């Protein structure tokens, strides 16, 4: 898996993420160019990581032009974006690039050894585009559920719910685990519930 990792001033988070995610020799270390005094510090951190790991390459991202920065990030040939540090704008643009590219997304936190897999957030535009009934069906999933349970929970005909679940499966938003049982992850359910609450009051 080829990674792009946002870098701030702390090499520890980046090195830990690369080790945990099994990065090979090819990965990108994304550092900010702002025209400020911290630019050199970011570059020094990138060079330190490359020296320690004897791998990777630095990619300067000029944040003075956010549109160009986003295009640069989205143009990288990577399978995953890892948010491990750096200025807020760099992290935000890297997140948006992951959404646009529909690639894996990880976040390195201060309180957990393993990077968090937040790839479901990349499906945000797909969830937003769902119809009200499909949002209701998706938001009703709680672990692995039989489609008839979902139908009972949302108050729709079971055949209709099955049709919606099959459509959601084709979009990669749910998976069928048994003949009539479907599941999805908690983040996808949370996004569906939020869109449903914000945009619709009833079916």
**Helix, strand, coil fractions of the chain, as percent rounded to 5:** 50, 20, 30
Phi, psi of 23 (to 5 degrees): -65, 140
The answer to pTM > 0.75 is yes
Pair 63, 69: CB distance under 8 Å: yes
Phi, psi of 58 (to 5 degrees): -85, 145
Domain boundaries of the chain, sorted by first residue: 3-117, 124-199
Which residue, 187, 158, 163, 152, is CA-closest to 173? 187
Kindly state the tokens that stand for 114.
């393993």
Mean pLDDT by 10 residues, the chain (203 residues): 94 89 90 95 96 95 98 97 96 97 94 92 93 96 95 96 96 94 96 90 53
pLDDT score of 201: 59
Distance, CA of 46 to CA of 31 (rounded, Å): 7
CATH code: domain 3-117 is 3.40.50.11700
CATH code: domain 124-199 is 1.10.10.10
């Amino acid at each position: 898996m080829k990674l792009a990792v946002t870098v701030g001033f702390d090499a520890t988070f980046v090195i830990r993420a690369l080790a945990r995610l099994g990065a090979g020799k090819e990965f990108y270390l994304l550092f900010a160019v702002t025209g400020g005094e911290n630019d050199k510090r970011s570059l020094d951190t990138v060079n330190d990581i490359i020296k320690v790991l004897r791998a990777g390459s630095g990619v300067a991202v000029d944040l003075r032009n956010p549109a160009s920065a986003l295009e640069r990030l989205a143009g990288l040939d990577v399978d995953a974006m890892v948010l491990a540090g750096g200025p807020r704008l760099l992290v935000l643009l890297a997140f948006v690039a992951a959404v646009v590219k529909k690639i894996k997304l990880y976040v390195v936190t201060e309180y957990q050894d393993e990077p968090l897999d937040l790839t479901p957030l990349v499906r945000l535009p797909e969830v937003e585009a769902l119809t009200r009934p499909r949002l209701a069906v998706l938001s009703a999933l709680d672990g692995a559920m039989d489609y008839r349970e979902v139908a009972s929970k949302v108050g729709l005909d079971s055949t209709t719910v099955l049709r919606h679940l099959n459509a959601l499966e084709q979009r990669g938003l749910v998976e069928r685990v048994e003949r009539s049982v479907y599941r999805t992850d908690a983040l996808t359910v949370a996004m569906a519930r939020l869109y449903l609450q914000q945009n619709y009051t009833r079916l």
